[in-house]
Structure 1
Amino acid sequence: MLEEDSRDGSIKMEFDFDAINEEDSPFPEVRASVSNIDDPEMPVMTLRMWVIGLMLSLIGGSLNVFFNFRQPAPTVSPLSLLIISYPIGKFFAFVLPIHTYRLPRWLGGLEFSLNPGPWNIKEHVLVYIMANVAIGPPYAINAIVVTQLNYHVRVDYWFSVLLVVATQLTGFGLAGLCRRFLVWPAGMVWPQNLVTCTLLNTLHAEDDETPGTITRYKYFLLVLTGSFFFFFIPGYLFQALSVFSWLCWIFPNNIPVNQLFGVSSGLGMSVLTFDWSQIAWIGSPLMFPWWAEAHIFVGFVLFFWITTPLLYYTNTWNLAYFPINDNNPYDRFGQYYNVSRVLDSSNHLNATAYNEYSPLYLPATYAMTYLLAFALSTCVLVHTALYHGRSLINGMKRMRVEPDDIHAKLMRNYPEVPDWWYIVFFVGFFLLMVVIVEVWHTTVPVWALLLAAFLPVLYVLPSGFIYAMTGQGISLNVLAQIIPGTLLPGNPIANMIFKAYAVQTLMEATSFVQDLKLGHYIKVPPRSTFLVQSVGTLLASFIQVGVKEWMFANVKDICQPNQPSDLTCPHNAVYFTASAVWGLIGPTRQFGPHSLYQPELYAIIVGAFLPLPFWLWQRRYPNSWVKFVSTPVILNGVSYIPPAAGINYSAWFATGFVFQYLVRKRNFAWWSKFNYVTSAALDSGTVLAAIVIFATLAFPRGGIYLNWWGNTVFENTADYNRVPLKTIPSGGIPLS
């Protein structure tokens, strides 16, 4: 078995003839990835862990906020920081003095050491946990930006940072209260953590390079360096390699060709791009299992390469008057929807002005996305009940009587976090949210805020339980817009804040629970995990809002369609469209009786019946391939459109096919050792290159741009200019 020695940090291989009788997890995948032994003397809350963890988390979080406003956008992944932190920790252990220091008695007399021994796996996993909860761009930033840019309401720094903190950390308190149901039971496997456990164990077992081989870290540096320098080609020197819509260059004015094969606003049937940030826009294709990639691509082809063109070219719902793929809503004159024309002085809907101006029209891919969201809302529940209902019921029963497995027993050696700590977090940050909505006069009533908090409380256990068991979570996205849209009609700002608080609380609760389970697997003291998660998230919130404030004060034309550095704010455009659909116009006007998009509501019924034929078929033929079909994954996998474009799926799948199917099948030894490292290196190198390009070439003194064919050919196409199939009639689309 693998065991890390706290004295020298190495991994010892031990064979025990009684191992067959050793207690271990009842789940084979856990036994294969997680050690069933622990060293309670291993240093954990070390000063170097805090320095490395906070440094990487704050830098990574800042970069991800920056790239949140870019399209396409590379991402600093927690896995990248896991690998980067390993040599930094080893370096600190090598150079820092081995000496014990004592604080003065008036400061408590605490003893500490800058170098308590070799860099170990528990310090390492705490750095990863801190990064995992702290580096993602806060969801509430979208609401802040849309409020400023689209609804022209001034938002100051303290409102922004307190809103981000409240939405981030309410979920933390909720997660801690659920750990007895979602963390301690052995049945809560959380398979996503098994990859991290495997990588951590192999990194700490690979201190010495075997002759004739290369370590993961050296390989990581080589790929990172290569991807760093290569990105300068599609990212600066020859940008047509990023927007590689070569058929559109040949037929620049052929609208159907540009819509089907285009990269900027098309459906991406050209497949090819040389830009990793395009390929990994929806997540690295090297990180998704092959079965999931196949499901997602089947859904993409079915709904966006077949159904969407059928709807578009038959002009269903007047779709052909608008670009086939866009992030923005339109009016009946073919222009971006001008919300200022339908707002009154209180930023609420003026119904008279709305009737005189225009209904809100959705581009084809946006209409398809909402149709799939309606279908998914019922499909995931029916699928879970049919395929996993018995397991869920048995699991619920076991959670009340299930004895501790070996991991839970080993964790009993450490003091548990009292429930009241988490209760203070949940209640405290909810009260902070109340203060925010009242002091800054956001028009969100306190009763609505109570309802926004109740939704994640209601869904956290079923969502977390289903996610831990089946990999399928429950999203509040549509529900968190329909409820305030119905109860607070015509109030887009209140709708956005309600949605941000409800959705982010559930998302953060799930993320925090997942990391609590990871700490459980690595045998990290629970109070150490608590401190790392809370401090990392709190500090990152201040820094991330600061980065957003700096960008909007200093970057010229940010969020404009032709921003030179591609800082076009795609996520904010999508958030604005949602606020207009659900908050301003409202679900009744947009999808209710006599509305243009009312037929989409039938997808709710279709979604409920969609899993049935596959379930019945696999019951009749248990060995059929149909048993592997997961309809929720097919529906949910394409939810990144918009803001993602077709190329982000087609190129993603092509790359995944190479690594996750061909390479894994034909050279499993290489794949198992280097696949995840390759993903992290490509992410890291691309992120570093994009930052260097922006800081040295694009931002200073108005920017330095190369004006030649390779950087302009794609701009002279119907794809780039988002040309619709049909021309708007004189006077606009007739109102029926």
Structure 2
Amino acid sequence: MASINEIDEDHLSKDVTKIEKAPEYKVDQLAFTTSIDEGYTDEFDLKARNIGFDPNAPSPDDKIDTAGDQYAVETGLEDSPYPEVRAAVPNTDDYEMPVNTVRMWVLGLASATVGSSLNMFFSMHSPTFVLSPYVVSIVAWPLGRLWDIIVPDVTLFGLKLKDGRFNIKEHTLITVMANVSFAGGSAYSTDVFLSMSQFYNIDFGWGFMIVATIATQTIGFSVGGLVRRVLVYPASMIWPSNLVTATLLTNIHKNDNHPVGNWTISRLKLFNIIMGVGFLYYWLPGFLAQFLSYFGWITWIAPNNVIVNQIFGVSTGLGLFPLTFDWEQIAGYIGSPLVPPFFATGNIFVSMVVIFWIIVPALHYSNTWYGKYLPISDSSSYDRFQGSYNVSKILNSDLTFNFAAYKEYSPLFLSTTFAMSYGLSFASITATIMHTALFHGKEIVYHWKKSRDNKSDVHMRLMTRYREVPDWWFGVAFLIVFALSIITVRVWDTDLPVWALVLALALSFILSIPIGIIQAITNLQVGLNVLSEFMVGYMLPGRPIAMMMFKTFGYITMSQALYFVADMKLGHYMKIPPRTLFWGQCICTVWTSIVQVATMQWTLGSITDVCTSTQTSRFTCPGAKVFYNASVIWGVIGPQRVFSHGSIYYSLLFFFVIGFILPIATWLFLKYRPKSFVKYINWPVFFTGNGLIPPATPYNYLCFSIVGYIFNFRIKRKNFAWWSKYNYSISAGLDLGLALGSLIVFLTTALTNTAAPSWWGNNVLNTADMNDVAIQELVTDQNPTFGPTSW
């Protein structure tokens, strides 16, 4: 039984105002309404779903009392207008189901502790491995059932140890705890600590690390809570990744099976088969026969041909022949292609073709940025001698910038795709702001004002049974964490002024809504990491530690806020009492922040030569090295030298203007031609969809787009009933099979230094593309360097 403080007694004892039709997000909603508009829907008519009642039920034009509410719940006639949500999320609620139980807290905190510790440990290894929260979702199920069997039904200190059977709401909260603890890998701040201690020889001690980690991990929680009325409550805020999680949990606990044509297999059985097969199969592309993963067969024919490897390469090339037999190549960087709506996948594909198949080759082979002397796609930084940029050559002994040494050594060079990624990142920020203001401005104002009073969505109506978390709870949480943030930057000498901290937090807060709307609709997040680096490099030049702290507060606050918001939407879908969800997210995040710091310190003290390139077990701290290099490039060299007028990459600054103008042009055009194909263009997705290139390659995005087209366009149009029943179960099975398979392969090979077997299927990958040497070599006796003559 839900506790008394979780049920909104006021709602249960008074009439509910009539259903109010809220304005929807029309342009971006196209992807979700297409299946309705074209007629391949399920058994209910759209109007019936929107109204939710048959002629014998209370009229939606009258006030609806709790009896009418219950009628809609019991009959299931009221449902989401979005087919994706209907396919994944139950439209009913058992509000008496126990949630805030001892079982949930023990299993949730234990799972989060183990998961966050492992991810912190794995993050210091090369290659890095990230444990998926899906693993916790699966493991929690037998643990919950085991609890039911072995724990006695007694009350201890006023708490019932066994409150009914392990249920879907407890399972959801355990999954949420895993998400907020380690869904994104280790805590972002730990790379800062490792960079400071291992490369700058600065160690502020345990107090600094714990306070800083709690501050950076939890400040997004309060921001997310304050914007939830815009990003969680509206039905049009889909948050597609939650649909897979909701399907997984529903399959486990309910597993309703309705035949679809000749397909009678249940969703749970299909999920189990795909997960098991995926787990066993991963040993082939992941270890035994790696050519199945990197299937760039054209490069095998000419392994040393630079042009062939640049054009058809799958690791550092443009991947013009996209074929793979490894789910990791398809979903490893971007996520499952079965999740985003097809309009988002289509924008990604068009962007990939225009940017990386047309513009990038034109720039590269015209040597615009001296690209022919560099890999065409690579995430490293280079000097004018074609070597990795040696940041130690431009630093004084006190780690300050040595301008004379810089002038003597080299400017910074980036691969063509890496340089382009900075331009796309600049454009994505301005495009997101303008797109959101023009296409969603009125809806943001509406939902901010109406909040929970809007009953146009069945899930919102069902959630009004529970007491909401007051805004002042999130406000108090923000003040506490803000105080910890000030302590972090002022008590210890981080070189970051308080005004810069405030600016970083303001940046995250202001952009959380526009970026959140894009992510809630498309499953893609516009990152603030590049913008944060760019800003602090101009504001605080020559301060690498301040740069790292500003980037952490400026980027991770928004990113964490959207993690919390996504889980709030999952709780919304699964009908978790908001106050229980609040404490679950808050307590678990604070606790695992301490756990990750302790794990990092234990690893540093227990493993010999950790974070060095000669570490025998490859605990080389790759994330910390990237952070260190970024701190020098942007905090020491600074964007004023990389992007200044007359510099190599000055032209990339014009992407800010391009991102600003294009949404305005699209908006104005649709005013006169609203039915034009232009309505399918989403500029934030266009610019940010390929944001992981590099280290991802067009090969990954092409394979992603092809699979997304097959499932979310062809199959969805031709057999909507089959797609509705099985799509998200297939996605969850593939993702979890990959997660379990890659975990076991990692544990049994990487940690034991076991090399992949030597045979043709692995040795054939010895190409210029895979070895990252597909470049035009310098003729050292004639032209030992490349690039400008002065910088």
Distance 1:387 1:70, change over 3 A: farther
CA contact (8 A) 2:341 2:522 kept: no
Tell me the SS of whatever aligns to 1:430.
Answer: helix
Q: Which moved more, 1:53-62 or 1:556-565?
A: 556-565
TM-score (norm 2): 0.80
Structure 2 CA distance for aligned equivalents of residues 567 and 658 of structure 1 = 40
Q: Which residue of 2 aligns with 1:735?
A: 789
Distance 1:327 1:186, change over 3 A: closer
1:235-284 CA-to-partner distances (Å, cap 9, x unmatched) read 22222332322222211121011111112211222312333222222212
CA contact (8 A) 1:249 1:717 kept: no
Distance 1:218 1:195, change over 3 A: closer
Q: Which residue of 1 aligns with 2:42?
A: none
Q: Which residue of 2 aligns with 1:172?
A: 221
Structure 1 CA distance for aligned equivalents of residues 91 and 337 of structure 2 = 31
Q: Which residue of 2 aligns with 1:3?
A: none
Cα shift at 1:437: 3.3
Structure 2 CA distance for aligned equivalents of residues 549 and 239 of structure 1 = 35
Cα shift at 1:504: 0.9
Q: Which moved more, 1:212-221 or 1:323-332?
A: 212-221
1:262 aligns with 2:313: yes
* Aligned partner of 2:176 among 126, 129, 137: 129
* Aligned partner of 2:96 among 24, 41, 49: 41
CA contact (8 A) 2:452 2:460 kept: no
Q: Which residue of 2 aligns with 1:708?
A: 759
Distance 1:144 1:214, change over 3 A: farther
Q: Which residue of 2 aligns with 1:675?
A: 727
Q: Which residue of 2 aligns with 1:118?
A: 165
Cα shift at 1:587: 1.7
Distance 1:83 1:621, change over 3 A: farther
Cα shift at 1:500: 0.9
Structure 2 CA distance for aligned equivalents of residues 667 and 555 of structure 1 = 55
Tell me the SS of whatever aligns to 1:325.
Answer: coil
CA contact (8 A) 1:169 1:534 kept: yes
Structure 2 CA distance for aligned equivalents of residues 452 and 318 of structure 1 = 34
Q: Which residue of 2 aligns with 1:8?
A: none
Distance 1:707 1:363, change over 3 A: same
Q: Which residue of 1 aligns with 2:254?
A: 205
Structure 2 CA distance for aligned equivalents of residues 169 and 710 of structure 1 = 46
1:124-171 CA-to-partner distances (Å, cap 9, x unmatched) read 221222222122223333434444565565576664454332211011
CA contact (8 A) 1:243 1:264 kept: yes
1:369-417 CA-to-partner distances (Å, cap 9, x unmatched) read 0111222222222333333344445545545986797756655554444
CA contact (8 A) 1:74 1:686 kept: no
Q: Which residue of 1 aligns with 2:702?
A: 650
Q: How many residue pairs were aligned?
A: 714
Q: Where in structure 2 are the equivalents of 1:234-633 lying within 5 Å?
A: 234-282=285-333, 283-396=335-448, 398=450, 411=463, 413-464=465-516, 475-545=527-597, 575-576=627-628, 578-633=630-685
Q: Which moved more, 1:323-332 or 1:406-415?
A: 406-415
Distance 1:153 1:269, change over 3 A: farther
Q: Which moved more, 1:230-239 or 1:28-37?
A: 28-37
Q: Which moved more, 1:68-77 or 1:237-246?
A: 68-77
Distance 1:238 1:696, change over 3 A: same
Cα shift at 1:77: 4.3
Amino acid of the structure 2 residue aligned with 1:18: A
Cα shift at 1:633: 0.8
Distance 1:601 1:490, change over 3 A: same
Q: Which residue of 2 aligns with 1:684?
A: 736
Cα shift at 1:423: 3.5
Tell me the SS of whatever aligns to 2:358.
Answer: helix
Structure 2 CA distance for aligned equivalents of residues 650 and 408 of structure 1 = 37
CA contact (8 A) 2:173 2:584 kept: yes
Distance 1:459 1:732, change over 3 A: closer
Tell me the SS of whatever aligns to 1:317.
Answer: coil
Q: Which runs of 5+ in 2 are unaligned?
A: 1-51, 61-67, 73-77
Structure 2 CA distance for aligned equivalents of residues 395 and 411 of structure 1 = 16
CA contact (8 A) 2:195 2:627 kept: yes
Distance 1:29 1:637, change over 3 A: same
CA contact (8 A) 1:374 1:603 kept: yes
Cα shift at 1:362: 1.3
Give the aligned CA root-mean-square deviation in angstroms.
3.8
Tell me the SS of whatever aligns to 2:155.
Answer: strand
Distance 1:578 1:610, change over 3 A: farther
1:181-219 CA-to-partner distances (Å, cap 9, x unmatched) read 554567766565556556545654326898984333333
Tell me the SS of whatever aligns to 1:316.
Answer: coil
Amino acid of the structure 1 residue aligned with 2:265: I
Distance 1:393 1:117, change over 3 A: closer
Tell me the SS of whatever aligns to 1:610.
Answer: helix
Cα shift at 1:598: 0.9
1:139 aligns with 2:188: yes
Amino acid of the structure 1 residue aligned with 2:212: L
Cα shift at 1:570: 6.8
Structure 2 CA distance for aligned equivalents of residues 735 and 503 of structure 1 = 36
Q: Which runs of 5+ in 1 are unaligned?
A: 1-13, 104-109
CA contact (8 A) 1:341 1:357 kept: yes
Tell me the SS of whatever aligns to 1:43.
Answer: coil
CA contact (8 A) 1:574 1:643 kept: no
Structure 1 CA distance for aligned equivalents of residues 688 and 556 of structure 2 = 18
* Aligned partner of 1:18 among 51, 54, 57: 57
1:163 aligns with 2:212: yes
* Aligned partner of 1:102 among 131, 136, 156: 156
Structure 1 CA distance for aligned equivalents of residues 696 and 654 of structure 2 = 25
Tell me the SS of whatever aligns to 2:382.
Answer: coil
Cα shift at 1:304: 1.2
Cα shift at 1:528: 0.9
1:218 aligns with 2:269: yes
Distance 1:172 1:494, change over 3 A: same
Distance 1:704 1:458, change over 3 A: closer
Tell me the SS of whatever aligns to 2:160.
Answer: strand
Cα shift at 1:102: 3.2
1:626-655 CA-to-partner distances (Å, cap 9, x unmatched) read 211212211110101122123221222233
Tell me the SS of whatever aligns to 1:28.
Answer: coil
Structure 1 CA distance for aligned equivalents of residues 378 and 406 of structure 2 = 22
Q: Which moved more, 1:121-130 or 1:619-628?
A: 619-628
Cα shift at 1:83: 5.2
Distance 1:651 1:144, change over 3 A: farther
Structure 2 CA distance for aligned equivalents of residues 703 and 354 of structure 1 = 41
Distance 1:640 1:151, change over 3 A: farther
TM-score (norm 1): 0.85
Identity over the aligned pairs, expressed in percent?
42
CA contact (8 A) 1:142 1:575 kept: yes
